[in-house]
Amino acid sequence: MNNALRLSGINKTYNKGLPNEVDVLRSADLTLAAGEVVALVAPSGAGKSTLLHIAGLLDTADGGKVEIAGLDVTAASDRKRTSTRRREIGFIYQFHHLLPEFTALENVVLPQLANGTARNVAETRARDLLAQVSVGERANHRPAALSGGEQQRVAFCRALANEPGLLLADEPTGNLDPDTSDLVFGTLMDIVRSTKMAALIATHNMDLAARADRIVRMEAGGLIS
């Protein structure tokens, strides 16, 4: 069985060649098996977001190899990276980034339409996902009319809309109060477990991290299990 994600020898330097050059990632290695949930823990500014962006094909490394679902996409064209990202990867951020002019339902439908799914099929899946995270009755509300926890649960649904094999989450509950954070994270874990997708979740919250299959820490630009 192919791994959902494999990063091998990843290097990333900012301000390369300048006096304030910073090596953010140094020969970082990470493998996620299908169905595995890994918590990524590190202080702010240590490079968690950079690692997630490289894993999600939103940024390129200065060295090393990136494999998604067993395919080497390190040197893939922009078109191939975009299609792989759309098909194989779901993203969740600390802030929901929902499109404010669209309803919750439409926010979950849109990525499916972009992936070529028929509208009726996309709407059915969107309604099912929203119901699964207990915001089905809010489907026709725009983000401004939703609570923070509801907005983030809609963002989860959007990330899962195209049934990705890999979920990347960057502080997905960092903008929520503790009680809502625990509820929303529990919902996320239930969905991940039930769909057998792999998930890499960056978090400062060690109580939440402990609910993952394993914890990976970033130290000196590398990754330590």
pTM equals 0.87
Q: What is the pLDDT of residues 155-192, one digit of tens each?
A: 989 999 998 999 999 888 777 778 777 877 887 788 88
Architecture of domain 5-224: 3-Layer(aba) Sandwich (3.40)
Instruction: List all residues 6 or more positions away from 225 whose beta carbon is below 8 Å from its beta carbon.
Output: 214, 215, 216, 217
Low-confidence ranges of the chain (pLDDT < 50): none
- What are 31's two structure tokens? 């493998």
pLDDT for 17 equals 67
Distances (CA, A) of 27 to 16, 23, 58, 168, 216: 16, 10, 19, 20, 15
Return the domain boundaries, the chain: 5-224
- Check: CB of residue 25 under 8 Å from CB of residue 9: no
Helix (H) or strand (E) holding 18: none
The identity of residue 152, as a single letter, is Q
pLDDT value at residue 137 = 93
Per-residue model confidence (pLDDT) at position 1: 56
Beta bridge partners of 31: 6
pLDDT of residue 99: 94
